[in-house]
Amino acid sequence: MTIIVTGGAGFIGSNFVLYMLKNYSEDRIICLDKLTYAGNLSTLQSVMDHPNFRFVKADICDRETVYQVFEEEKPNIVVNFAAESHVDRSIEDPGIFLQTNVMGTAVLMDACRKYGIQRYHQVSTDEVYGDLPLDRPDLFFTETTPLHTSSPYSASKASADLLVMAYYRTYELPATISRCSNNYGPYHFPEKLIPLMIINALSDKPLPVYGKGLNVRDWLYVEDHCRAIDLIIHKGKTGEVYNVGGHNEWRNIDIVKLICKELGKPENLITYVTDRKGHDMRYAIDPTKIHDELGWLPETKFEDGIQKTIQWYLSHLEWWSEIISGAYQGYYERMYGDR
């Protein structure tokens, strides 16, 4: 099969590309990525010369280029990871989130309709559900939980989800959606909580925590997420939404303290900063549906996954140092500009 993976140079997308090339030796993987600030082509360096891999630097909003790739590759499956994803940035500049996350999704689905595909899969987020109260640990997000967004980012992702379901109903586009809890693991961009805290702690810099750090997130190791998407695109039912989570809830402050402990750093590095506007208090996914229908369960315990993640950052200093310095943004031209 030929699979187009958009946003494949980002955190979860790149892990998915590597996962698919490792587990499906006969499949051809085409990665489309605009290489915005969060896209890092050096993440895919090990597979750039793989015979079953092709990288295309492209914006999913660029209809002409997207159609050209579909014409050339005739994909069977499209998995859309491409998205602006940082809540703080969406609060500062909502427009780019609407353009990429909504209009870009429409372009991809129009291409799927024009050229025909077996499956279009939209990678969404649990943030489309809003948040849950801290004093109700019995409540979880299910696939039937109403959408109730809190930020321009989550609103743009919810809008894309609604558009996907509209294309499924109106045009019979064979589409599925997954909504996952917070991911962590290798190649996580340093602006996100876990890698930011690891990198700052290693440099004995302040560890900025929003508010009092009481916000709760459900954490999932990124490879477990990749396995879930693999199952959905091959065995999931079209027109369905699948929640992906690990019943692994942690308060932000406890995550930061755990990282300090693992790295042997003092907790007095923790600095409390003004809370984010509209900051959701608790996310918690009920993954019963994907377990019952597709047999998926997370395999990585958080205690093991966080240690693997910390060790990865300790052994890949060059990767994140280039991001912090900004040098990574010239990687494409240096390595592949003449290709």
Joined together, the tokens standing for residue 16 give: 């998915």
Instruction: Please give the C-alpha separations between residue 162 and each of 34, 111, 112, 307, in angstroms, as whole numbers.
Output: 24, 18, 17, 37
pTM: 0.92
**pLDDT at site 92:** 84
Distance from CA of residue 328 to its chain's centroid? 20
- How many residues appear in the chain? 339
* DSSP 8-state class, residue 139: -
Joined together, the tokens standing for residue 160 give: 């894309």
Element (H, E) at 124: strand 119-125
Average of per-residue pLDDT values in the chain:
92
Closest CA to 18 of 38, 39, 48: 48
**pLDDT at site 96:** 87
| Packing angle of the helix pair 317-325, 193-202 (nearest 10 deg) | 100
Phi then psi for residue 96, to 5 deg, are -65, -30
Does the structure show a pLDDT above 90 at 148?
Answer: yes
By annotation, the residues acting in catalysis are 126-127, 153
Does the structure show a pLDDT above 70 at 332?
Answer: no
Cα–Cα distance, 201 to 73 (Å, whole number): 45
Cα–Cα distance, 29 to 52 (Å, whole number): 6
Q: Which three-class secondary structure state does DSSP give residue 253?
A: helix
Mean pLDDT across the stretch 292-298?
97
Residues in contact with 301: Cβ distance below 8 Å, sequence separation at least 6, in sequence order: none
Q: What percent of the chain has pLDDT over 70?
A: 96
Instruction: Please give the C-alpha separations between residue 244 and each of 17, 128, 178, 185, in angstroms, as whole numbers.
Output: 19, 13, 7, 16
Identify the band that residue 290 occupies on the pLDDT scale cut at 50, 70 and 90: very high
Angle, alpha carbons 293-298-300 (nearest 5°):
165
175 CB burial (10 A radius; 0-12, 13-18, 19+): buried
Mean pLDDT across the stretch 22-44?
92
Cα–Cα distance, 88 to 81 (Å, whole number): 19
Phi then psi for residue 57, to 5 deg, are -80, 110
Does the structure show a pLDDT above 60 at 27?
Answer: yes
Whether 273 contacts 208, CB under 8 Å: yes
**pLDDT at site 4:** 98
What b/e readout covers 93-125, taking b as 16+ CB neighbours within 10 angstroms?
ebeebbebbbbbbbbbbbbbeeeebebbbbbbb
* DSSP 8-state class, residue 192: S
Closest CA to 244 of 188, 288, 281: 288
Residues in contact with 190: Cβ distance below 8 Å, sequence separation at least 6, in sequence order: 196, 199, 320, 323, 324
Cα–Cα distance, 165 to 160 (Å, whole number): 9
The type of residue at 187 is Y
Identify the band that residue 316 occupies on the pLDDT scale cut at 50, 70 and 90: very high
Joined together, the tokens standing for residue 89 give: 């940035």
**pLDDT at site 325:** 78
Cα–Cα distance, 104 to 92 (Å, whole number): 20
